[in-house]
Structure 1
Amino acid sequence: MFIDYAKIYVKAGKGGDGAVAFRREKYVPKGGPAGGNGGKGGDVIFVADSNLGTLLDFKYNRKYMAEDGQPGGNSLKDGRNGKDIIIKVPVGTIIKDEESGKVLCDLNENGKQYVAAKGGKGGKGNSNFATPTNQTPRYAEKGKPGEEKNIILELKLIADVGLVGFPNAGKSTLISTVSAARPKIADYPFTTLEPNLGIVRYKEYDSFTIADIPGIIEGAHEGKGLGLKFLRHIERTKILLIMVEAISEDYQRDFNILLNELNNYSKILAGKKKIFGISKADLLTHDQIEKVKSLTLNNHNEKIIVFSAVSGYGMDELLDTLWTELKD
């Protein structure tokens, strides 16, 4: 199950209390203060792990608490620090503060870490409070509480190319043809219900990643269909392949609808490099294909690539174009 959003509660450990103690040695009837310091509370640390691909674990476990520091002991012995709690998340996870909505960290690299909640400082033992006028203090410092907060986790896939199109535009067929990804494919809308990520082998030694999200419908940026939930997964892509199927009655209108949804969703998507493609060319005759190739989109000088993932027509040109744009 692919889960890309979760709310959790994290709490760092409390610092251990300082100790009130005195030296108790033979022939020393009035020993000085000997209370040790409390240990520091454990931190809550997030770590990006490339072996993970979903936030599914956080659906069942929503509370994460680090260990408290141990109190100080006699004979100036300090308490042990509390153990940190390490929370592994997929690469591409964004950590937000639920209350403010502020982005705290973007874990966009494998191994990158973020301390979401710091453990409390341990209290000082009474040995720290001795003065010339008070050589036997009978008080110590309490440990400080650890930080706690409600966290939002959002996963954004990291890919080179993002596929954008209406339901049934052939995105799933394309990604299953050019990579080892195996999304569900059927001849009805919204077959794809979650993002798919595939690695495309280009030529002999090169490769790039491609992301397929559920089909976009008009009004997706307002929450219609499944688009709003998954559009964030293509915000990290370097380029977008905008796909319209060959049997469309109006290519210009369909491209404009898709572009409008991207522009209204975020400035990030609006500013990305876009390649325009007509899919399912196997449904057209040779003359129809040549006619489509001669089309130009209003306000766009980009070339339209006509291709079919089923027959293989135009696939070399498509992959060459994607690779060239990625290299640029």
Structure 2
Amino acid sequence: MTEGNFVDYVKIFVASGNGGKGSVHLHREKYITKGGPDGGDGGRGGHVIVRGDKNLWTLINFKFKKHFKAGHGEHGSKNRSTGADGADVYMDVPLGTVVRDTETNNILFEITEHQEERIVMEGGKGGRGNWHFKSATNQTPRYAQPGIPGQETQITLELKVLADVGLVGFPNAGKSTLLSVMTSAKPKIADYEFTTLKPNLGIVKYRDFRSFVMADIPGIIEGAAEGKGLGHYFLRHIERNATLLFLIPADSNDISKEYEILLDELRRYNPELLDKERLVAISKSDMLDEELVAEMSVELDKDLKGVSYLFISSVAQQGIQELKDRLWELLNE
């Protein structure tokens, strides 16, 4: 999927249908001159419904179509005939989509299962026909209820990527390179910060035809939790990952400090993110000799406080299989 086709945030206008009017009708047929009221009810206005689809990965369908209006209910008619309901409108979205009220930013609901349906805007009820209002003192009511008007509002669709493993790291840490080596994904790779502006997904093939999904999340900078850089734009995707893989380059000035900054950004955005399984991978390790690796391991054992780590090199294909094994263990604990 090209970067331009990955749409994960859209605002759209939705409007439900009006309910149909109840009928004012008096029954008439041969030999029955005063048959009484028999006006039928109006039909219900159409709903606007959000539906989950496991085959979708992006909100690209809403990039150019941003207005959704359901059909109006038809009016009631004679012989107590109820008008037809208005046509419902279905909006198919990827799993992991959060629906918010744009004005208040409150979360209305989340779609996490295939074919899950949630009504985002209910259609207006149809009005009751005049036969409902017949009584002993009013046997020929000449009035009926009008239908209830539909509603309209603006909602925000926000996609949080569903992946087993999320890659977390500073810009230019080598996340896209690692994804390209471990999966068949073809992310944009270049030697400058913020090469990746949208999450990239890839399927990691494991032993015995097993697999898991890895997501390359755009790089974090210090202050991201407050919205700096790409801010909340990418942090929300990390919420949906079962395991977090922290990627820190071996040539970093202070690996432990970099890890703490990344961890702090996640903590400030959502403390629950720290409950996820974590693994630290020291990338670009092909530039290290055995003696340097041993020295760094002593420091990391002390500073990472029990968090597992390993040394890898995407370019030299070092430690990649071990990384797959460790990730598989974490996913299946």
Aligned counterpart in structure 2 of residue 306 of structure 1, from 285, 299, 311 = 311
**Preserved contact between residue 293 and residue 306 of structure 1 (Cα < 8 Å):** no
Q: TM-score, normalised by structure 2?
A: 0.94
**Preserved contact between residue 201 and residue 208 of structure 1 (Cα < 8 Å):** yes
Matched letter for residue 304 of structure 1: Y
Could you tell me which runs of 5 or more consecutive residues in structure 1 were left unpaired when the two chains were aligned: none
Residue in 2 that maps onto 1:127: 131
Aligned counterpart in structure 2 of residue 112 of structure 1, from 113, 116, 130 = 116
Q: TM-score, normalised by structure 1?
A: 0.95
Distance of 1:228 and 1:267 partners within structure 2: 14
Could you tell me which runs of 5 or more consecutive residues in structure 2 were left unpaired when the two chains were aligned: none
Residue in 2 that maps onto 1:273: 277
What's the CA shift string for 1:63-117, capped at 9, x where partnerless? 2111110001122221111111111111110111223332221101221111111
Is 1:296 the counterpart of 2:284? The answer is no
Is 1:4 the counterpart of 2:8? The answer is yes
Distance of 2:302 and 2:168 partners within structure 1: 17
Distance of 1:182 and 1:28 partners within structure 2: 78
**Preserved contact between residue 164 and residue 331 of structure 2 (Cα < 8 Å):** yes
What's the CA shift string for 1:280-310, capped at 9, x where partnerless? 1122233323333333252611232100111
**Preserved contact between residue 33 and residue 127 of structure 1 (Cα < 8 Å):** yes
Could you tell me the percent identity over the aligned residues? 49
Distance of 2:29 and 2:80 partners within structure 1: 14
Q: Give the CA deviation at 1:271.
A: 2.6
What's the CA shift string for 1:23-43, capped at 9, x where partnerless? 221222223112111111111
Aligned counterpart in structure 1 of residue 26 of structure 2, from 19, 22, 26 = 22
Aligned counterpart in structure 2 of residue 318 of structure 1, from 314, 323, 333 = 323
Aligned counterpart in structure 2 of residue 34 of structure 1, from 32, 38, 43 = 38
SS state at 2:98 partner:
strand
**Preserved contact between residue 130 and residue 137 of structure 1 (Cα < 8 Å):** yes
**Preserved contact between residue 69 and residue 89 of structure 2 (Cα < 8 Å):** yes
SS state at 2:63 partner:
helix
Distance of 2:307 and 2:37 partners within structure 1: 80
Residue in 2 that maps onto 1:101: 105
Is 1:261 the counterpart of 2:261? The answer is no
Distance of 2:292 and 2:255 partners within structure 1: 13
Q: Structure 1's 263 and 284: CA in aligned 2 closer, same or farther, altered over 3 A?
A: same
Residue in 2 that maps onto 1:151: 155
Residue in 1 that maps onto 2:184: 180
Residue in 1 that maps onto 2:212: 208
